[in-house]
Each structure stands twice: as C-alpha cells, then as structure tokens.
Amino acid sequence: MKIDKKKLNKSQKQSFKGIMNMLPVIFGILLLVSIITEVVPESFYKNLFNGNVWHDSFIGDVLGSVFTGNPITGYILGKELLNQGVSLVAVTAFLVSWVTVGLFQLPAEAVVLGKRFAFFRNITAFVMAAVVAVITTLIVNFF
C-alpha cells in the first residue's frame, strides 16, 4: 500500500486548520460554562431536576431543544452538568435534543423542507430524545 505524501500533507493541513478554527469556540464555551457554574447555585439544579427519570429527561429535552448547538460544545456542557449533580438521564436527553431538535431553526427548516416535515421531524426528535435518554441510562446502569 503506497501512501501519497501530497494527499497526506494536504489532509494534515486541513485537519490542523479545522482544529485551530474550533479552538475559539471551545474556549468560549468553557468561559461561558465557568461563569454559569459560579453564578448559578447548585441548589438551582437540585430544584430543577428532581430525580424522576421521565421528569428529568423531559426537562433536559426541553433545555436542549431551546439551547441548540453542536455536539462538541454539548459534550462540554454535559460534563459540567454532570459535575453539578444533574442526573445522567437529564444530561443525555439534553445532549440528544441539543443536536437533533432546533426550535430556533424551525422557521428556516420549514421554508426549505416544508412545514409539515419540519414540525414532524422536530416533534419526533423531541420525543425520541427522551426515549433514547432513558434507554441509554438503563444500559449504562446495567453494565
């Protein structure tokens, strides 16, 4: 198997450029999470998430739907939520809906893909985020 050095070099440059472009976003999210961690008391999370599997997954689902983002920043937020004592089911629902449901993008999606499809896709993604969160948590706790 022969390696094309030009293609390899081009790929390395593109990867490096992608990582460098992503660093400001990651640092911005870390800064935002650090500020929120200091400003929001831990009791807020305990009051918002009561430990009920379906309630926690629903709240995480709603928050992820409203605060839509990309997976990399979601993972950072998810880790910080776990550190604050938020349940795994809530964080999982948050992460799944964070990436799959987009309330703010819904109007644009409706124009491009059609209203019926956009609403159906978002409602289905919202419901499935809660279901996936519960199933994932059951599997993780089983092993």
Do 8 and 51 reside in the same domain of the chain? no
Q: Tens digits of per-residue pLDDT, 70-123?
A: 888 888 888 988 988 899 999 999 999 999 998 888 888 888 889 999 999 999
My answer on whether 16 and 48 are in the same domain is: no
Residue found under tokens 């990867």? 15
3-state SS string for 79-101? HHHHHCCCCHHHHHHHHHHHHHC
One domain for residues 73 and 117: yes
Pair (51, 102) in one structural domain: yes
Name the CA dihedral angle for 132, 134, 135, 137, rounded to a multiple of 10 degrees: 110
In the block, tokens 């550190």 appear at 83
Residue-wise pLDDT for 50-66, tens only, equals: 888 999 999 999 998 98
Both 28 and 52 in one domain: the answer is no
Structure tokens belonging to residue 128: 């499935």
Range(s) of the domain holding residue 121: 43-142
Residues 18 and 58 occupy one common structural domain: no
pTM of the entire predicted model:
0.74
Structural domains in the chain (count): 2
> Could you tell me if 12 and 49 lie in one domain?
no
Let me know whether 32 and 100 are in one domain.
Answer: no
What distance in Å separates the CA atoms of residue 101 and residue 112, rounded to the nearest whole number?
A: 16
My answer on whether 9 and 66 are in the same domain is no
Pair (118, 49) in one structural domain: yes
Same domain, 31 and 50: no
